[in-house]
Amino acid sequence: MLAHPNAVLPMTYCVGLMLESGLVMVGDTRTNAGVDNIATFRKLQITEVPGERVIAIATAGNLAVTQSVVSHITEGMTMADGTRHTLHTAPSMFELAQFVGRAVRHVADRDSEALHQDGGRFDCSLLVGGQIAGGPPRLFMIYRAGNFVEATQDTPYLQIGEHKYGKPILDRAVTYDTPLNEALKLALISMDSTIRSNLAVGLPVDAVVVPRDALAASVNVRIGQDDAYFESVRHAWSDALREAHQHIPNPPYGA
């Protein structure tokens, strides 16, 4: 059983890559309410309407907050004009990002003061990626204030949660024209680097790949401890790093 939901720490790692050939998103499932209270919750959700839209949403932050936001997005919110909207009614990815931002602000207006009084804080961030028929695939990161930024050709990936350990490989290797299979491999290396350096991030990992204009996921998989490919990636990356630093000349400064 989880501790008080306001005590659940915002420890997770999710990454999204918006590339010329489509979208890749990967997220872990560990939720940490203290060293003796670890649980697994899915942080990466995907919704598909074949031929019409495919949307992936990843979350990081206070679990009670992020679950409430996702519920408002999926079950619907009544707007000022009396109409009710969900992620299925947004006509474009940009308007979906705006809708998610409104849902974040709605939950903040309702819960922030109570969280503060109970010793917690309002904390959430989301990655919202996908494609809606008639528009291009897009990827947004929504902040806890409800505002957002978009992945671009210059910066084709976005991260939430414990991002610092998995960022170097993405900075060095990911470009807008990286193929989807290569991008998924790099995202998994980024995830493994984070898992190795931070106990608050852990398996299983969820991964989604959405090719451009397919309006459906080509990959939607959960990767656990017994996944042979992920285990081979972990060992191959560690071996490659050791071999690389051994081939670099030692410093000439004396020791």
Q: Has residue 180 been placed in a domain?
A: yes
Instruction: Enter the tokens of residue 62.
Output: 């206070």
pLDDT at 238: 96
pLDDT band, residue 254 (cuts 50/70/90): confident
For residue 203, CA distances in Å to 13, 64, 120, 243 come to 11, 21, 26, 26
Residues 6+ apart with CB under 8 A from 98: none
Domains of the chain: total: 1
Distance between alpha carbon 78 and the CA centroid of its chain, in Å? Answer: 27
- Which pLDDT belongs to residue 38? 72
pLDDT for the residue numbered 140: 98
CB-CB contact of 10 with 62 (8 Å) = yes
Structure confidence at residue 169 (pLDDT) = 97
Residue 254 lies in a domain: no
One-letter amino acid of 224: G
pLDDT tens digits for range 62-105? 999 999 999 999 999 998 888 999 999 999 999 999 999 999 99
Confidence of residue 37 (pLDDT cuts 50, 70, 90): low
Number of neighbouring beta carbons within 10 Å of residue 91: 12
Q: Is residue 85 part of a domain?
A: yes
pLDDT interval class at 34 (50, 70, 90): low
Do residues 91 and 191 touch, judged by C-beta distance below 8 A? no
CATH of the domain at 213: 3.60.20.10
The pLDDT, as a whole number, for residue 81 is 87
Return the pLDDT at 120. 83
Say yes or no to pLDDT of 249 above 50: yes
Q: Which residues span the domain enclosing 125?
A: 5-243
Residue 250 placed within a domain: no
* Residue whose C-alpha is closest to residue 44's, from 64, 21, 71, 16: 16
Give a yes or no: residue 248 inside a domain: no
Q: What is the mean pLDDT of the chain?
A: 92
Q: What pLDDT, in 10s, does the model give residues 169-218? A: 999 999 999 999 999 999 999 999 999 999 889 999 999 999 999 999 99
Specify whether the backbone of 21 is left (phi greater than 0), alpha (psi in -120 to 50) or beta: alpha
DSSP characters for 72-134?
A: HHHH-EE-TTS-EE-TTT-SSHHHHHHHHHHHHHHHHHHHHHHHHHTT----EEEEEEEEETT
Q: Is 255 inside a domain boundary?
A: no
Centre a 10 Å sphere on the Cβ of residue 61 and count the other Cβ atoms it contains.
24
**Segment 89-146, tens digit of pLDDT:** 999 999 999 999 999 999 999 999 998 898 888 999 999 999 999 999 999 999 999 9
pTM exceeds cut of 0.85: yes
Q: How confident is the model at residue 32 (pLDDT cuts 50, 70, 90)?
A: low
119: left (phi over 0), alpha (psi -120 to 50) or beta: left
In the numeric block, which tokens belong to residue 34? 């203290």
Q: Is the pLDDT of residue 2 over 60?
A: no
> Is the residue at 22 inside a domain?
yes
pLDDT in tens, 3-21: 444 444 557 999 999 999 9
Q: Is residue 253 part of a domain?
A: no
